[in-house]
Structures are given as C-alpha cells and as structure tokens.
Amino acid sequence: MRQRHLFTKTRKEAPTDEVAKNAQLLIRGGFVHKEMAGVYDYLPLGLRVLNKITGIIREEMDKIGGQELLLSALQSKEVWEKSGRWSDGVIDVWFKSTLTHGAEVGLGNTHEEPLTALVGEHVSSYKDLPRYIYQIQTKFRNELRAKSGILRAREFLMKDLYSFSRTEEEFRLFYEECAAAYLRIFERVGLGELTYRTFASGGPFSDYSDEFQTLCDVGEDTIYVDEERRVAVNKEVYTDKTLDDLHLDKTRLVEKRGIEVGNIFPLGTRFSEALGLRYRDADGNDTPVVMGSYGIGPGRVMGTIVELYSDNRGIIWPESVAPFRVHLVALAGEEGKGVRTEAEKLYTLLVDAGIETLYDDREASPGEKLADADLIGIPWRVVVSEKTQAQHALEIKNRKTGATEMLGEKELFDELKTEN
C-alpha cells in the first residue's frame, strides 16, 4: 500500500470528548472514525488489524471443530418470547424497531435463541450431535456507559460460538477444549502473558463461568490473581466458599484490574427446553440438548492491545496483528530523485517477497513522516534517505524496542525472515 493512496489521515489531537486512550490513539492514527458515542467505523488500517484478529480466532475455532455461519442481525420477537428474554426488564440493552406492517423486531445483542431454533431443524438423533457452530457478526447493545472507546461499544463485532452436546460430560470436554483455544488466541494476538482464566458467576446456568481477563489499569473488573497457577477470581464471586471450591490460597492472590476480553459459560438445557431442541438417544429416549456459549469481542481485543502497547508517540502493534509488517519511509529532499528511486526498488522487493509493506511516498516533511510512523505503530520502520545512501545502508527501527540500526538490503531481509 502506498501511503499517498491510503484512505486515512493522521491527527495531532484526538476529539476532545474522547477520554479512552485506545480511541484517542486509533482515531489519531487513522484506524477508526467515531460516528457517535459507542459507534465507530473501521478505516482501512483499522480493518486490517481487525481482520488479523478475526483470522486468528477463526483458525483456533476451526481447529476444535467449529463451523462458521452468519445469522441475521434482525431478530424475531416470537423466538425470544419462548425463552422469556424479549422483555426489556430481562435484557435492558435491546435496540428494537417496528416493521411497516406493525411487527416488532430487535437488533441482535446475542444469538442463543435464533441459533437454537435453527439447530432444531437439523438435529433429531444422537447421531446429529455434537455440533459446534460460530459466527463473527455485528451485535447491537444499548449500553448506558459507552465511554471506553472500542472496549465498550453499542455496535461491535462478536465471535460467538455455541456448543450443542448430548450429555453434560460431552459438553465439559468441549468446554475445556475451548478454554485452551482461547488461551492460544490471546497468546497469538500478544496478550498471553497478561491474560488469566478467571472464575466468575455462572448466573442461572451453573456455579461458575469463565472469563478471560487481561490485566490493565483501565479495566472495569477487579480480579484476584494467582500468578503461579495462572488463574484468577472475579470480585463478584470472591468468597471463602469460592476459594475452597477452587482450592485457591487466599494469601497467594493479588488484587488487579482487568479487561474482560472473552468469556465461556454453560447454558445447560435452558434454551433447548424453551425452544424444543431435543434429540433421540441410542435407547430412543427424547432428551434435551446440553448447550454452551463462548464469546470473544475482536474490537475489544484490539482496544485492549492499544491500551497496553503504546507510548507517548503512538501505538506499538504486535507483529501478529499489525496492519503491515514494514513501514517504508522515503525521506527525499528537493534533490531526492535517487532516494525515491531506491525506495521504489526496495518497495517492489518487499512486496515480491510477500512482506506486507506500507510505503510512505507522500510529499511531506521528514518530521511529519517519522512522527506518523511512530503513531501508526507498524513493527519495523525502514528509512531511505540521503544519509542512508551515503552509508550504503538502510536505517531500521524496531518500534517495540525503539532500537535503531543500519543494515544492508540483504541483512534487512535476513532480519525479517528471522522475525517472521
């Protein structure tokens, strides 16, 4: 991508009404555009990051047998009435509307009901189970507190997987598989060391559910962390009974703040019984399907990365989710034809080598280009200038460490192969 063609602009200042660091930096860097409180557009740079995150999630969900589909966002009132969750008194974040002929519809805030109804048309025998079905789809929630940038939005992308199992034992085996897959996802996106499987309230479905909390000072949740066992307990269930149940030593727990980047929880047979999702077992008995729900917000993951990996100059993207791997910057003065020629040649070589490269070929000052490179936060910055030409080398900066070195062209490609 040539930066002069990129549909975005950097900004020196964030909107005055934006208080969250993730939104400030993402807006300034040209990754997102704020439509209104809690609603953001993803511009080309931001969408590239979001797609990297969803790509990692897809790979890990597919590995454990997940099948992807895409459900409608418009929701039928009737299917939600069967579970008793259409009422605003039960779910208070609904966005609802009325069709021209008078029927009420809702914009999906979650999808247990419609997917359970759909699965009911495909499952009748124990031979049809288990099934693990997921989507990556836009959700709508009328949040009262949409002040945390893309960490808490009113319109947001969600990966929600639902498991349909024959027995509680079969469900529990998959539940643990999914928990392990979640930890792999957070490791791959760069949050692994800071993310803990956290015991939380199971609500009406079970004693406990599991959240995946990433340690961060701006997190909304208080958690108690056992750093050696790499588990935590949410404050909402932090009791002596809970600690006994989980065999946790209170003296080893450290209080921290966390951002919930994912959750998994049992649903039991609540939705299958409400919507008539049953199967015939091997003995011919009519049995309700055992269900589970597993969510990750890719946008929330993206916002958490920015909260944690940034400095006073801008964002520092982990390589696995960065919009590009290399930011090639040509610092050509008025007589800089040779610089531009060398930069063009290097850009072609990088692209031909399959290295994702953003090439800053704009007519802008060196200071502006270098400041924008730091703000955008691509892992490797490669500078071509009259100075580097005089030294027959390239200036390479590692955005994560801040280290700068002069390398030849072959050394650069060797470095990029090593780090890939």
Residue 420 has pLDDT above 60, yes or no: no
Q: Are residues 151 and 25 in the same domain?
A: yes
| Residues 6 or more apart in contact with residue 216 via CB below 8 angstroms | 194, 257, 258, 259, 304, 307, 308
Residue 145 has pLDDT above 80, yes or no: no
Cα dihedral: 182, 186, 188, 192 (round 10): -120
At 189-248, the pLDDT tens digits run 999 999 999 999 987 777 889 999 999 999 999 999 999 999 999 999 999 999 999 999
At 338-364, the pLDDT tens digits run 999 999 999 999 999 999 999 999 999
Residue 253 has pLDDT above 90, yes or no: yes
Q: Are residues 381 and 252 in the same domain?
A: no
CATH number for the domain harbouring residue 289: 3.30.930.10
Q: Are residues 235 and 108 in the same domain?
A: yes
Q: Which of residues 87 and 14 earns the better pLDDT score?
A: 87
Domain that holds residue 366: 326-419
Query: Does some domain include residue 321?
Result: no
Residue 180 has pLDDT above 60, yes or no: yes
At 109-139, the pLDDT tens digits run 999 999 999 999 999 999 999 999 999 999 9
Work out the number of other CB atoms within 10 angstroms of the CB of residue 382.
Answer: 26
Task: Mean pLDDT check: name the lowest of 62-66, 198-202, 332-336, 392-396.
Answer: 332-336
Number of compact structural domains in the chain: 2
Q: What is the model's pLDDT at position 192?
A: 96
Question: Model-level pTM?
Answer: 0.96
CATH number for the domain harbouring residue 373: 3.40.50.800
* Separation of alpha carbons 16 and 333, rounded Å: 35
Residue 336 has pLDDT above 90, yes or no: no
Long-range contacts for 380-384 (Cβ within 8 Å, ≥24 apart)?
A: 380/325, 380/326, 380/327, 380/416, 380/419, 381/326, 381/327, 381/329, 382/326, 382/327, 382/328, 382/329, 382/346, 382/412, 383/329, 383/331, 384/328, 384/329, 384/330, 384/331, 384/339, 384/342, 384/343, 384/346
Percentage with pLDDT > 70 across the chain:
99
Last residue of a domain, one of 278, 311, 344: 311
